[in-house]
C-alpha cells in the first residue's frame, strides 16, 4: 500500500530529494535500473494519459473538394472524303507507267497506252502490265501499292465504282476467282481485296525490282466495260495508284491513270488522237465572228476585186497590166460578137407601067 501510494505521490512530486528517499525506503539495490523497471509499467501509461489531456488535439485537416475531372476528348485525324486525283511522287519518287509489250506478227495488242494524256485503252479482263519505279526504300516489304477506281467528274467522284448486274452474275466467266464486286483485279499471288465505305480496292505488296530492271511490274485487269448500263455507264474512269505503309496505311506517293475499257481499244485511241489533233490545228472560233466590210457594188453589176500595192513601181506595173488586159478583153469580145442584123428600109411600091 505504501509503495503504491508513494508511487502515486512520486508521479506528481517535482522534488528530487523526495524521490531519492522513496527509493531508499523501498529498498532498490541498483537505484538506476531497478527504479526504471519498477516505474515503467506505472509511469508511462499515466504520462501518456496526462499528455493526451494537456496537449491540445491536432486540428483535423479539412479535405478540400477535388476539382471536377475534365473530360478528355481524343481528337482523331479526319480523312478527306473527296478522293484526290493529282499526281504526287512523294519522298520516294513514286512513278507509274504502262509498258508496251512487243506485238506478235499480224496481231495487235489488246490494249493501248497514250503517254501524252496518261490514258489506257484496254479490252475487258486483259492483263495490263503496270510498271512502278521508286527510290530510297530500305525495306520494300513494309510498303504496299493500292489500286482504287474513281470517277473523274466532280459530280460523280463521290459515287463508288460498281460493276453492272450482268457481269456480277456468278455464271459470268470473269467471276471464276470470286471478288464479284471488284472492277479492278490484280494478277498477283498476295493480292488483298478491300471494301471501305463502299469503295472497292485491291492492294499488292511492294517488291524489289528484278535483276537487270529498274521497275516493279504488276498485272491489273478490269472486269467491267465503260459502256455497261448500271455500272460505269459511260462515265470517265480513273485508276488511282498509291504507295502506302502496310502498318499504318499512310500514303507516301500517288499517281492516276485514266482508263477506258472497250471492245476496240485501237479504234477508240485513233479517234481520240484524231480529235485532239483537229482541235489543236484549228483555233477555236468565236461565237460571233467579225464580218469584213464588203466592197461597194460595181456600177455594171460585175464583181470588183482589189489589190493592195505598197510600192509605187509595183503600182505602175499593175496599172499597165490592167490596161493591157482590158484591151485584150475588148478585142476578144469584138471578134466573138455576132454581126449586126441589116435594118429593113421602107420603099414606095413600084407602079407597073402599061403600054
3-state secondary structure the chain: CHHHHHHHHHHHCCCHHHHHHHHHHHCCCCHHHHHHHHHHHHHHHHHHHHHHHHCCCCCCCCCCCCCCCCCCCCCCCCCCCCCCCCCECCCCCCEEEECCCCCCCCCCCCEEEECCCCEEEECCCCCEEEEEECCCCCCHHHEEEEEEEEECCCCCCCCCCCCCCCCCCCCCHHHCCCCCCCCEEECCCCCEEEEECCEEEEEEECCCCCCCCCCEEEEEEECCCCCCCCCCCCCCEEEEEEEEECCCCCEEEEEEEEEEECCCHHHHHHHHHHHHHHHHHCCCCCCCCCCCCCCCCCCCCCCCCCCCCCCHHHHHHHHHHHHHHHHHHHHHHHHHCCCCCCCCCCCCCCCCCCC
Residue-level length of the chain: 355
Binding-site residues for Zn(2+), in ranges, read 164, 167, 224, 228
β pairing state of 237-245 and 111-114: unpaired
Give the pLDDT of residue 184. 97
Please answer whether residues 225 and 264 qualify as being in contact, where contact means their C-beta atoms are separated by less than 8 angstroms: no
Distances in Å between the alpha carbon of 32 and those of 28, 37, 43? 9, 9, 15
Instruction: Supply 55's cell numbers.
Output: 496537449
Give the chain's domain count: 1
pTM: 0.59
301 within domain boundaries:
no
| CATH number, domain containing residue 210 | 2.60.40.720
Residue 299 falls inside a structural domain = no
Task: Flag whether 70 is in a domain.
Answer: no
Residue 340 lies in a domain: no
pLDDT confidence of residue 25: 61
- Which parts are annotated binding residues? 164, 167, 224, 228
Residue 73: inside a domain, yes or no? no
Say how far apart CA 145 and CA 92 lie, in whole Å. 13
Q: Which three cell numbers stand for residue 24?
A: 531508499
Listed residue (207, 199, 187) closest to 148, CA to CA: 199
For residue 5, what pLDDT is reported?
A: 45
Using the structure block, give the residue that is written with the C-alpha cell 479517234.
271
Note down the domain range covering 190: 95-101+109-278
All residue ranges of the chain with pLDDT < 70 are 1-80, 103-106, 281-302, 340-355
The confidence score (pLDDT) of residue 298 equals 57
Please state whether 88 falls in left (phi above 0), alpha (psi between -120 and 50) or beta. Answer: beta
pLDDT at site 157? 95
Asked if residue 322 belongs to a domain, the reply is: no
Instruction: Output the pLDDT for position 10.
Output: 46
Do the beta carbons of residue 239 and residue 98 sit within 8 Å?
Answer: no
Is 344 among the domain residues? no
How far apart CA 89 and CA 135 sit, in angstroms, is 10
pLDDT reported for residue 74: 39
Give residue 222's pLDDT. 97
Give the integer Cα–Cα distance in Å for 179 and 188: 14
Domain presence at residue 7: no
Amino acid at each position: 500500500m505504501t509503495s503504491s501510494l508513494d508511487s502515486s505521490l512520486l508521479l506528481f512530486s517535482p522534488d528530487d530529494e523526495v524521490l531519492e528517499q522513496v527509493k531508499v525506503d523501498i529498498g532498490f539495490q541498483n537505484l538506476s535500473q531497478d527504479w526504471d523497471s519498477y516505474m515503467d509499467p506505472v509511469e508511462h501509461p499515466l504520462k501518456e494519459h496526462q499528455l493526451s489531456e494537456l496537449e491540445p488535439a491536432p486540428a483535423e485537416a479539412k479535405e478540400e473538394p477535388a476539382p471536377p475531372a475534365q473530360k478528355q476528348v481524343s481528337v482523331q485525324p479526319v480523312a478527306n472524303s473527296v478522293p484526290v486525283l493529282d499526281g504526287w511522287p512523294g519522298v520516294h519518287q513514286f512513278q507509274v507507267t504502262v509498258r508496251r509489250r512487243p506485238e506478235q506478227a499480224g496481231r495487235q495488242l489488246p490494249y493501248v497506252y497514250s503517254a501524252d494524256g496518261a490514258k489506257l485503252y484496254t479490252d475487258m479482263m486483259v492483263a495490263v502490265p503496270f510498271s512502278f519505279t521508286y527510290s530510297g526504300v530500305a525495306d520494300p516489304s513494309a510498303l504496299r501499292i493500292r489500286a482504287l477506281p474513281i470517277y473523274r467528274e466532280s459530280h460523280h467522284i463521290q459515287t463508288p465504282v460498281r460493276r453492272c448486274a450482268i457481269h456480277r452474275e456468278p455464271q459470268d466467266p470473269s467471276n471464276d476467282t470470286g471478288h464479284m464486286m471488284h472492277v479492278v483485279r490484280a494478277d498477283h499471288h498476295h493480292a488483298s481485296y478491300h471494301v471501305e465505305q463502299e469503295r472497292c480496292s485491291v492492294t499488292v505488296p511492294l517488291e524489289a525490282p528484278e535483276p537487270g530492271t529498274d521497275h516493279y511490274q504488276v498485272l491489273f485487269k478490269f472486269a467491267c466495260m465503260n459502256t455497261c448500263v448500271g455500272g460505269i455507264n459511260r462515265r470517265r474512269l480513273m485508276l488511282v495508284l498509291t504507295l502506302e505503309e502496310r502498318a499504318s496505311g499512310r500514303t507516301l506517293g500517288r499517281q492516276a491513270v485514266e482508263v477506258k475499257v472497250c471492245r476496240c481499244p485501237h479504234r477508240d485511241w485513233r479517234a481520240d488522237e484524231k480529235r485532239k489533233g483537229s482541235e489543236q490545228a484549228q483555233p477555236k472560233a468565236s461565237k460571233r465572228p467579225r464580218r469584213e466590210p464588203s466592197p461597194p457594188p460595181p456600177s455594171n453589176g460585175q464583181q470588183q476585186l482589189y489589190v493592195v500595192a505598197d510600192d509605187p513601181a509595183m503600182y505602175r506595173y499593175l496599172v499597165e497590166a490592167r490596161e493591157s488586159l482590158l484591151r485584150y478583153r475588148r478585142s476578144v469580145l469584138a471578134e466573138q460578137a455576132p454581126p449586126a442584123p441589116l435594118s429593113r428600109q421602107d420603099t414606095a411600091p413600084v407602079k407597073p407601067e402599061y403600054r
